Structure 1
Amino acid sequence: MKTYFRIIKILDFIVELGNSLIVLIRKNSKKTVGIVAGVSLALIVVLSLPPSLGKETLYITLDSATYDNEKRVIQISASTNFPEDTEIMFGLAGKIDEYSVSVPPEPALVKNGKLNVVLGPDSMVNGTFDIRASFSVNKDRDRNLHLFDEFGDYKEFKKNYYVNGELVDSIKGYYVERIMLGEITVEDE
């Protein structure tokens, strides 16, 4: 979704640039047109750069997600480069018919670059779900406080790190949600 809005911004900029160039061409100022065109090209290149450029990428990669029909649970295994003992939340989100359905998130701690978690069985229903992860760094909840030392506050994190999710500032820290890992289909036999 972020990429879509970024493309729209670039296209809007190009349209405005085109309109400005037409006005300058009509005034017949070739030197001004050249300067505006050069600056505009540089801005288009900068706006087109990926948001992760120059930042360390933090990742969570789905290794496996399996549905156990008898126990009615989903077992998830993932790999990550997050520091040891970081709590990562895993959950499911999807649509069944026209209703949004989610399975409550469950925590997993990073151990040797691995995460393992079991979701269900109480709220498990048939359907196809997005597997999502999130994490928070929060002083009030004593959650992942070691990440303040590792990554810094919100501004430092935003400046130096990239995670494929939505980074949100909060009063007592920050969190990243909607880290999309894959999808799974649940079908009881």
Structure 2
Amino acid sequence: MAHGFKRTRKGIVGRFEAPEVRLLQKLFSDVGETLAPAAREDGPARNDDPLEALVGWDEEVAEPTDPAVRRLLPAASSDPEQAAEFRRLTDRSLRERKTAALRASSLALESQPVVLSLAQAQDFARSLNDVRLVLASRLNIDSTEAAERVAELTDFGRAEDVEQYMGVVYNFVSWLQETLMNALLKTLPPR
């Protein structure tokens, strides 16, 4: 059984059993795949501007159709034109940074116990948050009442259907993120 994260002299340390490691690595991988840009039917995007190609801008980036990806990469403005311009300038780099954090977090799970530096812990926290956002989207958690509904689904011990299983996983990831955030808070200088 996972022991969550604690701040120690070695860094931020967490202990996990093999099934928990496999679950977290699968979740990180699945979210990474969810973030991969959809393949275009007409082939890869062509970018004639060398500066745009160098910095990762794209000519046009459509708003994601998957609600989970929209939670991971929300519109930056209620103004459609500003939101589209921001998405065009940042979509690729945001996806790449999130994917890199997910991969780094998955690799961190290769050693037991997991010992994270401050930077690694921040990446791990981002990865857990992205997993929670995707699970919340799939479970239709969009309010306090919906979150309570999912909590009630998982109060009975064993999961009997996919929704209950996802609820259990959501609660596990939420708990793990809470322990990590508490450990990170202890790294802040005292007031």
TM over 0.5: no
More strand by share: 1
TM range (shorter): under 0.3
More helix by share: 2
TM-score scaled by length of structure 2: 0.25
TM-score scaled by length of structure 1: 0.26
- Which has the bigger relative contact order, CA under 8 A and spacing at least 6? 2
Which is higher, the Rg of structure 1 or of structure 2? 1
